[in-house]
Amino acid sequence: MDIATLIGLISGVALMLWAIMGKSDIGAFIDYGSVAIVIGGAVSAALISFPLRNIMAIARIVKNCFFSKTRDTGSLITEMVKFAEVARRDGILALENVTADIDDPFIVSGIQMAVDGTDPDLIEAIMVSDLESVEARHSEGKALFDNIGKFAPAFGMIGTLIGLVIMLQNMADPSKIGPAMAVALLTTLYGALLANLFALPMAEKLGRRSREEVLLKMIVIKGVMAIQSGDNPRIVEQKLKTFLPNRMRESGAEAQAA
């Protein structure tokens, strides 16, 4: 589970509640009509912007922000180098015996194509196509939350304008102006919170998740192509370490030396 996402949401909500309860009553900041305008409006805009299947998948998309299966790049490189060592020592056909122990279907697919003697250009084309489809799928999830983050403040403003119109219709009673203005402004608050505490941060987290997975798949593609071409395991390792930051490359070299 991604603890940072959970801590961020809890701390953000806690800070808002602390600021409110220190100066006022929490009940003054609750208005169900304003909630309906902001959330309902943002969801309506999303329904107009995206196919229904995207909206129905929102729970799964949110889950991806809290639960990540992204593996460590260093361990992946180590695994690919081991495959290169097996291919170098026993021949590439020997890799067929290790595919049953590999959990990642993307790695299995690439190695199996290499074992089957598939043309290198075709292997790369198929794996890159798979990578691009993953990127496209991830971009749809991120775009959904970007959309909500973009429209939520706008519907907050719309709710405020509706509240102001209602307030102006009751100007004859000055005692109602203050409470009516407060309710009108709540929709702007709700819109800003929905966008900046939930939707846009979720979109950023999804974008980061996508970049991490794309990096891992790029390492796999380069590793499979290097193994298929018969590169020395040390060369395979050097090729794959180019995807790592310099500090991680140095730490890996020190660990090997030790």
**pLDDT for residue 41:** 94
- Distance (Å, whole) CA 67 – CA 77: 23
Taking only the tens place, the pLDDT of each residue in 26-35 is 888 888 888 9
Q: Tell me, what's the pLDDT at 248? A: 65
The pLDDT assigned to 258 comes to 40
The whole-number pLDDT of residue 124 equals 94
pLDDT value for 216 = 93
Confidence of residue 63 (pLDDT cuts 50, 70, 90): confident
For the chain, the average pLDDT equals 87
pLDDT at 101 over 80: yes
Q: State which amino acid sits at residue 13.
A: V
Task: Reply yes or no on whether the pLDDT at 154 is more than 50.
Answer: yes
**pTM for the predicted model, two decimal places:** 0.81
pLDDT at 255: 44
pLDDT of 120 above 70: yes
Query: Is the per-residue pLDDT at 249 higher than 70?
Result: no
Q: What are the residue ranges spanned by the domains of the chain? A: 31-72+123-257
pLDDT of residue 250: 60
In 3D space, the residue among 206, 233, 245, 221 whose CA is nearest the CA of residue 104 turns out to be 221
- Does position 73 have pLDDT exceeding 50, yes or no? yes
* Confidence band for 257, pLDDT divided at 50, 70 and 90: very low
118-141 average pLDDT score: 92
What pLDDT does 254 receive? 44
Confidence bin at 23 (pLDDT 50/70/90) = confident
Burial classification of residue 229, based on how many CB atoms lie within 10 Å of its CB (0-12 exposed, 13-18 middle, 19 or more buried): exposed
Q: How many Cα neighbours within 13 Å face the side chain of 130?
A: 17
Task: Note the pLDDT tens digit of each residue in 75-100.
Answer: 899 999 999 999 988 888 888 888 88
Q: If you average pLDDT over residues 124-137, what whole number do you get?
A: 93
Distance of alpha carbon 245 from alpha carbon 141, whole angstroms: 28
Q: Which residues are within 8 A (CB) of 202 and not within 5 positions of it... i.e. 6 or more apart?
A: 62, 65, 145
pLDDT tens track for 204-222: 999 998 999 999 999 999 9
256 pLDDT band (50/70/90 cuts)? very low
**Core vs surface per residue 3-15: b (16+ CB within 10 A) or e:** eebeeebeeeeee
Confidence at residue 26, expressed as pLDDT on a 0 to 100 scale = 84
Distance CA 202, CA 198 (A): 6
Band of pLDDT at residue 180, cut at 50, 70 and 90: confident
